[in-house]
């Protein structure tokens, strides 16, 4: 089984763990999940729409992820 997960945020969540601040990936592109590794910078110029990124970081804009029955 596979799933498509949509991520609408283009920056990490910041949380405190004790005295340390951690950055949690919310864009879905990090290669060090659950932590942010900076890959969200690829998304900063996204305009409205839905985008898919391949493993090399190439971006494709799609019209729709779903079809109405
Ligand atoms: S929020 Fe995903 S890599 Fe930074």
7 within some domain:
no
In a domain, residue 65? The reply is no
How far apart, in whole angstroms, are the C-alpha atoms of residue 53 and residue 60? 6
Confirm whether 39 is domain-assigned: yes
- Look at residue 17 and tell me if it is in a domain: yes
Q: What are the average pLDDT values for consecutive 10-residue runs of the chain, which has 69 residues? A: 90 97 97 97 92 91 74
Atom of ligand 1 nearest to the CA of 28: 2
Provide the domain limits for residue 53.
13-60
Question: In the prediction, which pLDDT does 27 show?
Answer: 96
How much is the pLDDT for 63?
86
**pTM, entire model:** 0.83
Q: Is 22 in the pocket of ligand 1 (CB under 6 A)?
A: no
Test site for ligand 1: of 21, 40, 51, most ligand atoms within 8 A of the Cβ: 40
3-state SS, one letter per residue, for the chain: CCCCCCCCCCCCEEEEECCEEEEECCCCCCCCCCECCCHHHHHCCCCCCEEEECCCCCEEEECCCCCCC
- The answer to whether residue 51 sits within a structural domain is yes
Structural domains of the chain, count? 1
Q: Does residue 5 sit within a domain?
A: no
């Amino acid at each position: 089984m596979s799933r498509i997960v949509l991520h609408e945020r283009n920056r990490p969540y910041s949380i405190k763990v004790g005295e340390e601040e951690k950055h949690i990936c919310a864009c879905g592109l990090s290669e060090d999940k659950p932590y942010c590794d900076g890959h969200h910078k690829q998304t900063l110029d996204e305009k409205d729409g839905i985008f898919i990124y391949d493993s090399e970081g190439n971006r494709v804009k799609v019209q729709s992820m779903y079809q109405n029955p």
